[in-house]
Amino acid sequence: MGVDLHASAMRESGTAYRGVKLLHDPVHNKGTAFTAEERAVLGLKGLLPPRAQSMDLQVQRAMENIRVKNNDLERYVFLSALQDRNETLFYRVVMDHLKELMPIIYTPTVGEACQKFGHIFRRPRGLFISREDKGHIHDVLQNWPHEDVKFIVVTDGERILGLGDLGADGMGIPIGKLALYTACAGIHPTQCLPITLDVGTESKDRLSDPLYIGTQARRLKGSDYDELIEEFMVAVTTQFPGVVVQFEDFANHNAFRLLRTYQDRFCVFNDDIQGTASVTMAGLLSALKVTHKPLTDQKLLFFGAGEAGIGIGHLISGAMESEGLSLAEARQRCWFFDSTGLVTKSRTNLAEHKLPFAHDGVFTDNLLEAVNRLRPTALIGVSGMPQTFTKEIVEAMSSFQDRPIIFALSNPTSKSECTAKQAYKWSNGKAIYASGSPFDLVDYKGQTFVPGQANNAYIFPGLGLGLLVSGAERVTDELFAIAARSLADQVRESDLAVGRIFPALETIRTVSAQIA
């Protein structure tokens, strides 16, 4: 093999990407895969073991190291270190072993990694923009070394998965999401920028932890917070024209408001609201291939009325409207049960985002009673409250539905409303089940079930690829509905036969391309 064009260009330009500096640059480093000729040209002779090794051998070595680790957090740390020193190898490893490694680089392991982020911190990745940078955010952005940024995932760390306020320790989420843009849709890593807005935290543990990486102060709120967000949005869209900004893990009181504020001004979306809605709608459409009942006949009961639940309700209501119902009729088919109880018109002081789904009905604060009264076709958990879909609730669902749809979507695994095994056992194998985090195969009465994972990674990488290629200036709800239908269309009869209502994870790059 001759010297590649990139190596020739580096030689001609006299770039600093030579020798040790090249080996320390994760974007250009190839490790032991540099050929003898490349080593001579790039000043690498003697800096590497003499034997050049193929990418396949490097992958083999990496996987051997990953599999001997004692736990998933150690595997996460190993993969993070690999990403820091050799991005090409990192993505090859992840892409070749996506089913095995996605739960490591994202849910559920990323949740534990965020909880311990300050204690496992090795090397910075992405940008941290703090409250002290107000008035100078554009200057901070200019420190980023890559100019062609097309995707930003940003969080303020206030509502990380179902784990609460982790502050700056939530940086693991933007890093993990953007890794999936590359692994699942082929977006170049240098076009991806993870950002954490360090506006403080209300976590007492972090405020007193000497190893916490963020500002040890209470959260910025009110007009000070809004002014920082406004400056950030203007700065990033000026510094990186055409960039897509993905809001991630903002608390409810900010998430809906920020989406409304910016969705008509910039190319932005909220994955917790819109991405979760899209993948859940896809799961529902796939489930209807099993029940053979139209979408407009469904009655949904959501356990949880935050970003995810309300986002799903709006997207599915819109889909029902497109199939013939009025919007009012469609919303009437979506019921919500929050931390107080059933969302009804009789309740006072409902949050604004819940009002479209407040219906006439008798209030109850008992979920089992609500299930028995409403007799929903689907029960969708987005509460962050584990083990709340009890045996009695699943049995009730199974008593009036031949194939009850039960989605326990809360992340990470420890927050799931019920496990796959519980759902299949308590429904006597009748449940059509999906979860937010992965569960193992379930053997029940001679049948092996493959639980579906309603993973947003089925949606946002393909959506992002479509936005990039099309040059779209805004992200509309219609795009998420199209993505949902595209995903459902790719579910095969062989998937449904084993209880899986999403395509096999190994096909996700094809899925992303089809959505795009």
Residue 153's CATH number: 3.40.50.10380
**Which segments of 334-416 does DSSP mark as H helices, in order?**
367-374, 391-400
One domain for residues 259 and 305: no
By the 8 A CB rule, do 406 and 418 touch? Answer: yes
* pLDDT value at residue 241: 97
Which pair of tokens denotes residue 227?
A: 């002014």
Mean pLDDT, all residues of the chain = 95
Which pair of tokens denotes residue 510?
A: 């094809």
* 90, part of any domain: no
Domain range for 250: 104-266
- Residue in this structure with the two tokens 């306020």, named with its chain if needed: 165
By the 8 A CB rule, do 411 and 162 touch? Answer: yes
One domain for residues 232 and 376: no
* 91, part of any domain: no
Q: Which of 177, 212, 354, 415 is catalytic?
A: 177
One domain for residues 295 and 358: yes
* 316, part of any domain: yes
Q: How far apart are CA 393 and CA 370, in angstroms?
A: 10
By the 8 A CB rule, do 276 and 456 touch? Answer: yes
pLDDT one-digit tens code per residue, 63-101: 999 999 999 999 999 999 999 999 999 999 999 999 999
Beta carbons within 10 angstroms of residue 14's beta carbon: 7
* 363, part of any domain: yes
One domain for residues 261 and 312: no
Q: Which H or E run includes 78?
A: helix 72-85
The single-letter DSSP state of residue 486 is: H
* 93, part of any domain: no
Please list, in sequence order, all residues whose beta carbon lies within 8 angstroms of the beta carbon of residue 403, skipping any fewer than 6 positions away: 287, 290, 291, 430, 431, 432
One domain for residues 289 and 254: no
Q: What are phi and psi of 452, to 5 degrees?
A: -80, 145
- Residue in this structure with the two tokens 């330009």, named with its chain if needed: 13
Q: How far apart are CA 77 and CA 370, in angstroms?
A: 44
One domain for residues 353 and 487: yes
Judged against a pLDDT cut of 90, whether residue 383 lies above it is answered with yes
The structural domain count of the chain equals 3
Among the three residues 245, 266, 287, which one is the final residue of a domain in this structure? 266
Q: Which of 106, 424, 433, 458 is catalytic?
A: 106
Q: What are phi and psi of 186, to 5 degrees?
A: 75, 15
By the 8 A CB rule, do 483 and 464 touch? Answer: no
Q: How far apart are CA 166 and CA 158, in angstroms?
A: 6
By the 8 A CB rule, do 191 and 149 touch? Answer: yes
* 46, part of any domain: yes
One domain for residues 353 and 406: yes
Q: How far apart are CA 505 and CA 94, in angstroms?
A: 12
Within its chain, how far is the Cα of 222 from the centroid?
A: 27
Q: How far apart are CA 43 and CA 26, in angstroms?
A: 17
Angle at CA 295, nearest 5°, toward 293 and 298?
80
Q: How far apart are CA 387 and CA 227, in angstroms?
A: 40
Q: What are phi and psi of 231, to 5 degrees?
A: -60, -40
Please list, in sequence order, all residues whose beta carbon lies within 8 angstroms of the beta carbon of residue 246, skipping any fewer than 6 positions away: 151, 152, 153, 154, 177, 268, 269, 270, 271, 460, 464
Q: What is this structure's pTM? A: 0.93
For residue 85, give the nearest of 125, 40, 54, 38 by alpha carbon: 125
By the 8 A CB rule, do 7 and 42 touch? Answer: yes
Report the relative pairing of strands 192-198 and 127-130 from DSSP bridges: parallel
Judged against a pLDDT cut of 70, whether residue 4 lies above it is answered with no
pLDDT category of residue 11 using cuts at 50, 70 and 90: very low
* pLDDT value at residue 16: 61
CATH number for the domain harbouring residue 28 = 1.20.1370.30
One domain for residues 116 and 133: yes
DSSP 191-259: GEEEEEEE-----HHHHH-TT--S--SPPP-HHHHHHHHHHHHHHHHHHSTT-EEEE-S--HHHHHHHH
One domain for residues 392 and 507: yes
pLDDT one-digit tens code per residue, 333-348: 999 999 999 999 999 9
User: Which residues in 203-223 are b (16+ Cβ under 10 Å) and which e?
Assistant: beebbeeeebbbbeeebbeee
Structure-model confidence comparison of residues 57 and 4, the more confident one: 57
The single-letter DSSP state of residue 505 is: G
What is the pLDDT averaged over residues 28-48? 95
Judged against a pLDDT cut of 80, whether residue 309 lies above it is answered with yes
pLDDT one-digit tens code per residue, 98-129: 999 999 999 999 999 999 999 999 999 999 99
Among the three residues 250, 266, 282, which one is the final residue of a domain in this structure? 266
Which pair of tokens denotes residue 211?
A: 């190893």
CATH number for the domain harbouring residue 278 = 3.40.50.720
Judged against a pLDDT cut of 80, whether residue 7 lies above it is answered with no
Judged against a pLDDT cut of 80, whether residue 6 lies above it is answered with no
Instruction: Give yes or no: 106 in active site.
Output: yes
User: Residues of the chain with pLDDT > 90: what percent?
Assistant: 95
pLDDT category of residue 162 using cuts at 50, 70 and 90: confident
Among the three residues 266, 285, 301, which one is the final residue of a domain in this structure? 266
Q: What are phi and psi of 143, to 5 degrees?
A: -80, -15
* 245, part of any domain: yes
pLDDT category of residue 17 using cuts at 50, 70 and 90: confident
* 195, part of any domain: yes
One domain for residues 143 and 239: yes
Q: Cis bond leading into 412, ω under 30°?
A: yes
One domain for residues 498 and 358: yes
Instruction: Give yes or no: 391 in active site.
Output: no
By the 8 A CB rule, do 27 and 189 touch? Answer: yes
One domain for residues 369 and 321: yes
Position 180, amino acid: L
* pLDDT value at residue 408: 98
